Structure 1
Amino acid sequence: MVNPASQYESGATRLEHDLLGEREVPAEYYYGVQTLRALENFNISGVTLNFYPDLIDALAMVKQAAAEANHELGLLEPTIKDAIIKACTEITNGKFHNQFVVDMIQGGAGTSTNMNANEVIANRALEHLGYSKGEYQYCHPLNHVNMSQSTNDAYPTAVKIALINSNKKLVRVLESLIESFRAKAKEFAHVIKMGRTQLQDAVPMTLGQEFEAYAVTLSEEVERLNQNVRLFLEVNMGATAIGTGINSDPDYPEKVIKHLRKISGLDLVLASNLVEATQDTGAFVMYSSAVKRLAVKLSKISNDLRLLSSGPRTGLNEINLPPMQPGSSIMPGKVNPVIPEVVNQIAFKVIGNDLTVTLAAEGGQLELNVFEPVIVQSLFESIEMLKNGMNTLKYRCIDGITANEERCRSMVHNSIGLVTALNPYIGYEASTQLAKEALVTNKSVYDLVLQKGLLSKQQLDTILAPENMVKPRKLNL
């Protein structure tokens, strides 16, 4: 694994120690010995904490709220509190993110992530106090930065705050994509085409109706994401190790939540039962299901776009996707629907990540779910991929789609599906016979009706006008 902080190395080191002994830590690094061990132990995915700034910011918020609460309780000296808060504020302002180097997937239920934050904040606070990194007797990662906390309440609380803030960005991208579909719905409102069920001709509709349906189905996901993300407002700060609150003041939970609400700007609430809240990952399962549902819908829409643009000579060819790149190394002139294809693949990953979240939640044991890191990694990966995928779909596909209007109209005129409109006038049986005869003789439904004298030309023109078949209307039987 390439160390994101390696560009700062001078060769100088400082000596730090932990439970397992002493280690030399590069002098420039703000993280310490426990983070160093995590780097060595968890070279797993290559995706580190600094890939997700919202998570780093949320960790700093949690540490700042804890420092405020501990100071209010008389447990933390004002100078140390101020130094910790300065360090946390710098982090939420975007500094030192390259020092958060632990792999997102890790053993220890998030301990390495928590210690990465504790060490970076402690060492930066030491500098504010006028000391050197590693002089932990003046500001300690555990005794001061982690005071009244455990990984088991600080880590999931930070994750929930980060997911709430990440969801806001996801929803903004989704809403922008919805607007693109709505714009196309208006642009194509006059384009008559054939609707299909089971990939067979059904009844006429407009291309605008088709694109408006995409906008509406995605709009439902805005509501669903926002509904499920509200589950993350309940946190377990003050639970410490398993929910009993050991090593924390009885008044700490109330005070830390008060400060965390102010710092985060979120309406956070303390869980009613901290033992339950520390082991339960149900909120992650629910939110993951909403993210998956969005992915499934995006994939279905992408399937449709590939079908509607298929051809150009031997497929449906009702719409044109903007050409993005040559489609073949052997077939000249071929252009593939590469943007919908990549969205399909993103959806497959998100669906797989949802299964990972489900299995990890189920795998929890007793008072803690040690698999939270893979839950967290899966959710953040899904959100990031969906944001990127939806932006790509909007700007490199949807906004540039054009309609093949004459192709759409000609397929309606030649479709056997027109016979559906005759049901109320000549009955289902007669309509069925017309459809069968039209297929066998290759004649149009229109010509056969006139030939058989079933309806007058004026009646037929009114009934079979495609514009009259894309919405309900009064029947004159």
Structure 2
Amino acid sequence: MMSDTSCYRVEKDLLGERQVPVVAYYGVQTLRALENFNISGIPISHFPDLVTALAMVKQACARANRDTGKLEPAQAAAIERACDEIIGGELHGEFCVDMIQGGAGTSTNMNANEVIANRALELLGCERGAYEQLHPNIHVNMSQSTNDVYPTALRLAMVFGLRQLGRATCALQKALSAKAVEFQSVLKMGRTQLQDAVPMSLGQEFNAFATTVGEEVARLEDMAALLMEVNLGGTAIGTGLNTEADYRDRAVAHLREISACPLMPAADLVEATSDMGGFVLLSGMLKRTAIKLSKICNDLRLLSSGPHCGFNEINLPQKQPGSSIMPGKVNPVIPEAVNQVAFTVIGNDTAITMAAEAGQLQLNVMEPLIGYKLLESIRYLGAAMESLRIDCVVGITANAAVCRGYLERSVGLVTALNPYLGYGKTSAIAQQALQTGRSVAELVIEEQLMTAEELEQLLRPESMLGPVLGEGKPRLRS
């Protein structure tokens, strides 16, 4: 059966001719990549920041080639306009090759070259595929190689993603800080190794959560700054083959203006083309953030466990029924989901580590996996933080009576009495409380080691949650 030629156009590459859908902006090399890399099911367009970054790089290169006289002004203008449209969100669906691919990102680069070329041809009044007028390799990819375009675009996309992640991190920190203030007067028993330790406030516990999240904000900014050094202009291996003498500086300057990011050329383009150290460092930082986030979620799940046979110190917002068989059961689904995001980020770090180590000589061909997993980690962490904040943290309430009850019944309360009763007496009180099941406070009063008034004064929040200054505190009994 003959194919309908009205539905296809014929394009040619190194391996021969192929029919490309006439409606497609991509071309023959993208078509081959679609056939070869049907792996993850995640196309480039899944990460809009990457598509935008690719268009920005191509636009900057077109301007630099125009400046040096290598690219005709009309061709440069058409390429620029096509890139502007992509930066504005158009044609993203045409960026369709799989994120996991062989060829060190060549398929991604050619996908961008072909889409930009065919849209630029339309803007010049030509048909798609009329490459004699404007060619993906000759004109759109002029003075470039996948090996400098792809890592530059990845870095830029990650900078954009880190900005969003930074905003999500700040918002979560503020939400946790607000809860710390709300819960500052709720007394409870702190725990170490899941055993009763010393008194604290629920506010102090949430303030610790806020502090540990807040620490990540500056670190994420540091990572974004690390990504600003790019190897654009190095072409294949960093030597700058096929470029004009001032092309590199012009291209990076244009990209700096287009992206509004303080990008700079790498000092050693050969080293920058093969080295994945910045990506490894970023991945480790994202793993650190994920681990902190997961630990907070572990604590929220423990503190809300029950409601009658667990800690039940806090209530998490009820988001959905928790069981298909147990009526009334509600699960901590938001922290559970965030835990799973953290595990994914930790796994991604392992994959990134192995891919970075697998580099050979002047290029690391595993960059597609590195880029994919870093962009995924950044996106997942940002979404997880937003979900944790909006769907969980802002709606948490405290069970103050439960917290106070645990405190008063806990043997751990004797630690707060050490400065006033001495270690020997408090040890005896602790042992007796464990044996009889009676409260520490009850035994202290019964044995006339302290009056009820003195004990009540000691159990005030300001007396239990840190150093006590001033007069009027109970005196050490001999």
Q: What TM-score bracket applies, with the shorter chain setting the length?
A: over 0.9
Map of 1:59 onto structure 2: 54
User: 1:165-204 counterparts in 2 under 5 A?
Assistant: 165-204=160-199
**Residue 446 of structure 1 is aligned with which of 441, 448, 469?**
441
Pick one of 86, 94, 98 that aligns with 1:91: 86
Structure 1 window deviating more from structure 2 (91-100 vs 402-411): it is: 402-411
CA RMSD of the aligned region, Å?
1.4
Give the match for residue 5 of structure 1.
none
The answer to whether the aligner puts 1:214 opposite 2:209 as a matched pair is yes
In structure 2, the residue matched to 1:251 is 246
Alignment partner, residue 157 of structure 1: 152
Q: Which of these residues, 277, 299, 320, is aligned with residue 304 of structure 1?
A: 299
Q: What's the CA shift string for 1:310-329, capped at 9, x where partnerless?
A: 00101000111111111111
CA offset digits 1:406-453 (Å, max 9, x no partner):
111111111111100111122222211210111112222222223333
Offset of residue 464 of structure 1:
3.5
- Identity across the alignment (%): 59
Aligned position for 1:263: 258
Tell me the equivalent position of 2:275: 280
- Does the residue aligned with 2:12 lie in a helix, a strand or coil? strand
Q: Distance in 2 between matches of 1:18 and 1:213?
A: 59
Distance 1:426 1:285 in 2: 54
Task: Pick the aligned partner of 1:230 from 206, 225, 229.
Answer: 225
- Single out whichever of 145-154 and 395-404 deviates more from structure 2: 395-404
Q: Secondary structure at the match of 1:311?
A: coil
Match for 1:386: what amino acid?
Answer: L
Unmatched runs of 5 consecutive residues or more in structure 1: 1-8
Is the contact between residue 204 and residue 466 of structure 1 (CA under 8 Å) also seen in structure 2? no
Matched, 1:334 2:334: no
Amino acid of the structure 2 residue aligned with 1:230: A
Give the Cα separation in 2 of the matches to 1:387 and 1:407.
34
Which of 419, 425, 429 is the equivalent residue of 2:424?
Answer: 429
**Amino acid paired to 1:231:** L
Kindly indicate whether residue 7 of structure 2 is the aligned counterpart of residue 12 of structure 1: yes
Partners of 1:418 and 1:464 within 8 A in 2: no
Whichever residue aligns with residue 59 of structure 1, its letter is: L
One-letter identity of the residue aligned with 1:403 = A
- Are residues 1:463 and 2:458 paired? yes
1:36-59 per-residue CA deviation (whole Å, 9 max, x = no partner) reads 000000001111011111100110
* Corresponding position: 1:386 with 2:359: no
Q: Is the 8 A contact 1:29 1:99 kept in 2?
A: yes
- Matched residue type, 1:329: S
Question: TM-score, normalization: structure 1?
Answer: 0.96
Partner of 2:128: 133
The answer for the alignment partner of 1:323 in structure 2 is 318
Contact kept? 1:123, 1:133, Cα under 8 Å: yes
Q: Deviations over 1:264-289 (max 9, x none)?
A: 11111111111100000111011111
Are 1:146 and 2:141 an aligned pair? yes
**Structure 2: how far apart are the matches of 1:172 and 1:115?**
33
Tell me if structure 2 keeps the 8 A contact 1:181–1:211. Answer: yes
Q: 1:123 aligns with which of 108, 113, 118?
A: 118
Alpha-carbon offset, residue 455 of structure 1: 3.2
SS in structure 1 of the partner of residue 227 of structure 2: helix
8 Å Cα contact 1:218/1:297 also seen in 2: yes
One-letter code of the match for 2:345? V
Answer yes or no: is the 8 Å Cα contact 1:88–1:121 preserved in 2: yes
SS in 2 for 1:169: helix
The total of aligned residue pairs comes to 469
TM-score calculated relative to the size of structure 2:
0.96
Look up the SS of the partner of 2:352 in the other structure: helix
SS in 2 for 1:343: helix
**Aligned partners of 2:155 and 2:439: how far apart in 1?**
61
* Structure 2 letter corresponding to 1:286: L
Range that drifts further, 464-473 or 139-148: 464-473
2:398 to 386, 390, 403: 403
- Tell me if the contact between 1:192 and 1:467 (Cα under 8 Å) persists in the aligned partners: no
Contact kept? 2:199, 2:416, Cα under 8 Å: no
Q: Measure how far apart 1:10 and its partner are.
A: 9.9
CA distance in 1, matches of 2:265, 2:51: 22
The alpha carbon displacement at 1:212 in A equals 1.3
Letter in 2 for 1:283: G
